[in-house]
């Protein structure tokens, strides 16, 4: 496994692989890797002959009062885990490599509507930062495939939108959400939970599951089900931000239930902000 800090160096093996006509998959991450990230890496290895993982804690996707400074950074453990997975290359750029003109002069990617809804409404600027960094990584690596997690469902739709709209020649693959045995979606931010909060944390998954089960009943009212889920989260000591049923393809509010849907939720629990979602095909 080779590690690279500069895009010029990374482009050498990439050019060789391309010449040999082997496919390349990219897994973008912010590091502090857990089993969920490693499942994306395994999926990437099934999609392409070479796997590149990027590790970059992207400052532009954090709000001014968010956890950029304290976000867990564990590069040694990450590299050891990726070596065990047989990853070919790890890209660990610094900020100047990703934003060569500096942050304030940086070209940004914004998508009207999609970025201002749900998590975007509560985290202004977040998805613009995500789209901006992901497009940079896709341009730098030019992978055949890039793998993202269902856990960040809105993020994955933002990326699909920009790839389609900007004619990026990368196929986007969504890997299912990786969960702890009690249902909690794995996340680097779960370590912000105290032991007592951790024990209550699966209530978010359970609340979304109750909405999904309710939707299967005749005459179901998504609004009433989501209100009940919000109430159950408050009862479990969460500060819920939203629970919503949306069109799975567009995130549009849906009047009809005869199409693929997604139940999405976000809630604060102590220091952590947890998100989760369930697809209803």
Choose between 149 and 214: whose C-beta lies nearer to ligand AMP: 149
Q: In what order do the strands lie in the sheet with 24-29?
A: 2-4, 89-91, 50-55, 24-29, 145-149, 171-175
Choose between 18 and 186: whose C-beta lies nearer to ligand AMP: 186
Closest approach of ligand AMP to the CB of residue 61, in Å = 9
* Cα–Cα distance list, 154 to 121, 149, 251, 276 (Å): 12, 10, 8, 10
Choose between 126 and 254: whose C-beta lies nearer to ligand AMP: 126
Using CA atoms, how far apart are residues 83 and 107, in angstroms rounded to an integer? 34
Q: Which residues are identified as catalytic? A: 37
Closest approach of ligand AMP to the CB of residue 231, in Å = 26
Choose between 37 and 136: whose C-beta lies nearer to ligand AMP: 37
Closest approach of ligand AMP to the CB of residue 62, in Å = 11
Burial of 216 (0-12, 13-18, 19+ CB in 10 A): exposed
Q: Copy the structure tokens of residue 58.
A: 């992207």
* Residue with the shortest CB distance to ligand AMP: 149
Question: What are the two backbone dihedrals, phi and then psi, of residue 213, each rounded to the nearest 5 degrees?
Answer: -65, -40
Choose between 30 and 98: whose C-beta lies nearer to ligand AMP: 30
List contacts with ligand AMP (CB under 6 A): 29-30, 36-37, 40, 148-152, 175, 177-178, 185-188
Closest approach of ligand AMP to the CB of residue 208, in Å = 14
Closest approach of ligand AMP to the CB of residue 16, in Å = 27
Q: Copy the structure tokens of residue 102.
A: 């500096």
103: Cβ–Cβ under 8 A, 6 or more apart, which residues? 59, 60, 95
The two beta strands, 261-269 and 145-149, are unpaired
């Amino acid at each position: 496994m080779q590690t690279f800090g500069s895009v010029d160096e990374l482009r050498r093996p990439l050019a060789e692989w391309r010449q040999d006509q082997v496919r390349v998959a990219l897994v973008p991450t912010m590091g502090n890797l857990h089993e969920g990230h490693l499942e994306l890496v395994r999926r990437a290895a099934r999609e392409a002959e070479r796997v590149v993982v990027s590790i970059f804690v992207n400052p532009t996707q954090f709000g001014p009062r968010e956890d950029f400074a304290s976000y867990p950074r564990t590069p040694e453990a990450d590299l050891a885990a990726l070596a065990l997975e047989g990853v070919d290359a790890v890209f660990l750029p610094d900020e100047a490599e990703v934003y060569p003109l500096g942050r304030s002069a940086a070209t940004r990617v914004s998508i009207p509507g999609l970025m201002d809804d749900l998590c975007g409404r509560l985290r202004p600027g977040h998805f613009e930062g995500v789209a901006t960094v992901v497009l940079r990584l896709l341009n730098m690596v030019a992978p055949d495939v890039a793998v993202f997690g269902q856990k960040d469902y809105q993020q994955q739709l933002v990326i699909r939108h920009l790839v389609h709209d900007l004619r990026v020649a990368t196929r986007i693959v969504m890997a299912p959400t990786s969960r702890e045995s009690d249902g909690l979606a794995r996340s680097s931010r779960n370590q912000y939970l105290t032991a007592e909060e951790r024990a209550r944390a699966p209530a978010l998954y359970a609340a979304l599951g109750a909405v999904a089960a309710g939707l299967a009943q005749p005459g179901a009212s998504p609004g009433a089900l989501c209100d009940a889920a919000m109430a159950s989260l408050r009862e479990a000591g969460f500060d819920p931000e939203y629970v919503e049923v949306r069109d799975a393809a567009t995130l549009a509010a849906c009047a009809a239930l005869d199409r693929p849907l997604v139940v999405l939720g976000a809630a604060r629990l102590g220091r952590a902000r947890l998100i989760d979602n369930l697809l209803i095909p």
